[in-house]
Amino acid sequence: MSDGSLSQEEIDALLQGADDLGAAVESGAGTPAGPAAPTSGGLTGDEINELKEIFTEVAQIMGTTLSTITGKQVSITSPSVEYISGGDYISQLTGVNVQVKADFTGGAPGFHSFVISEEVAKKIAAMMMAQEEGELTDMALSALNEAFSQMAGASLNVVEEKTGVKLSTGSINAVKKDNPSEIEIPQEGAVRVRYQFSSEGFQSILDEILAVSVAKSLSSGSLQKRGVSQGDQAFSPGFQAANVYTGQPAPQPQQQTGTVGVQPVQFAPLNPAEQPSGVPGNIGLLMDVSMQLTVELGRTKMLIKDILAMGEGTIVELDKLAGEPVDLLVNGKLIAKGEVVVIDENFGVRVTDIISPMERISNLE
């Protein structure tokens, strides 16, 4: 039976436990992080969660848009959001990639682009051109331009609805990068949104890269839209949003005595927003509209007397040379050129040249 004194072994064990506890305290282990603790790149956990919610809906609309314009089943899901430095991102890439540059302008201007592997680029281009996968030719890159133009246009509407931030994109340009070091990314790092891309048994990833300043604007706009400040405080409509989100002290309500003055609410005039030049908008709403596709071999002008004199065997000379590409018209608007082929005793046209996406969209208006 013990007499109440501690043996040397027990004393050593107690001292060892105290040392372990002290080391844990010094290292911060077991100490809960405060609310909205900053992460890499200056993003907080709350901001990343807001971005995940935004881009979850963006992923859905991009998948739906690509499915609609290609007639193939496409799924874009499960976005992950993280800050990544330029060097780290490039070191993770291998082989040939395609970067689709689509910098943001408008309410939150800044760097923005998509990065996909060569196999994903070939898959999307083949779906857009309704043909077997091939090399990344200029025609394939043009098809990628159109695909991402449509997807970006549809996603911007979702972003504005979720955040209140009105964005637009300049010219969209898909560029083949033979070496990962050629990928352009801000030196100070950026936010990567990585999606799971799948289509008819094919699975891969699709990256969307945006500047940290753009990401913070979107997350702040989303918080404000839902009436929550970055400090998890209830957002008061009486305070200016700029003060809440820039860290400036919010103005204090003035103390009033006596009769309270009531003034009518004044709203800003509702002017229709101007569509930025070159932006396709939500053209996905028109995808089910039927249009007349015409193949034009050529044209000529004739006098009425010559037309009336036409009969069987009359030869009409057209303004095109033999072997020259024919025109493909949609509702009378030129969209592509091609060559005539014969398929099982039927005439067809193999597309050889596609008019630029922006010019085609403007022609459809």
Q: For position 101, what pLDDT does the model report?
A: 95
323 with 314: CB under 8 angstroms?
no
Of all residues in the chain, what percent carry a pLDDT higher than 70? 70
**pLDDT at position 328 over 50:** yes
What integer best gives the mean pLDDT of the chain?
Answer: 79
Q: For position 284, what pLDDT does the model report?
A: 63
CATH 2.30.330.10 in the chain, residue ranges = 291-308+318-364
Q: Is 106 helix (H, G, I), strand (E, B) or coil?
A: strand
The pLDDT tens digits of the residues spanning 133-172 come to 999 999 999 999 999 999 999 999 999 999 999 999 888 9
Q: What is the CATH number of domain 40-218?
A: 3.40.1550.10
Q: What whole-number distance in Å separates Cα of residue 105 and Cα of residue 177?
A: 24
Q: For position 19, what pLDDT does the model report?
A: 52
Q: For position 55, what pLDDT does the model report?
A: 96
Q: What average pLDDT does range 212-237 have in this prediction?
A: 73
Q: What average pLDDT does range 96-120 have in this prediction?
A: 95
60 with 76: CB under 8 angstroms?
yes
Most confident of 35-39, 114-118, 289-293: 114-118
The pLDDT tens digits of the residues spanning 56-107 come to 999 999 999 999 999 999 999 999 999 999 999 999 999 999 999 999 999 9
Cβ-based neighbour number of residue 39 at 10 Å: 13
CATH 3.40.1550.10 in the chain, residue ranges = 40-218
Residue of higher predicted confidence among 26 and 266: 266
**pLDDT at position 234 over 70:** no
Q: For position 341, what pLDDT does the model report?
A: 85
47 with 266: CB under 8 angstroms?
no
**pLDDT at position 214 over 80:** yes
For the CA atoms of 128, 148, 47, 223, what is the dihedral angle to 10 degrees? -100
Distance of CA 337 to the CA centre of its chain: 30
**pLDDT at position 297 over 60:** yes
Give the end-to-end CA distance of the chain in Å, rounded to a whole number: 98
> 133: buried, middle or exposed (CB in 10 Å: 19+, 13-18, 0-12)?
middle
**pLDDT at position 189 over 60:** yes
Q: Tokens 């014969």 appear where?
A: 342
Q: What is the CATH number of domain 291-308+318-364?
A: 2.30.330.10
Q: For position 25, what pLDDT does the model report?
A: 40
The pLDDT tens digits of the residues spanning 216-228 come to 999 999 988 887 6
Q: What average pLDDT does range 282-305 have in this prediction?
A: 81
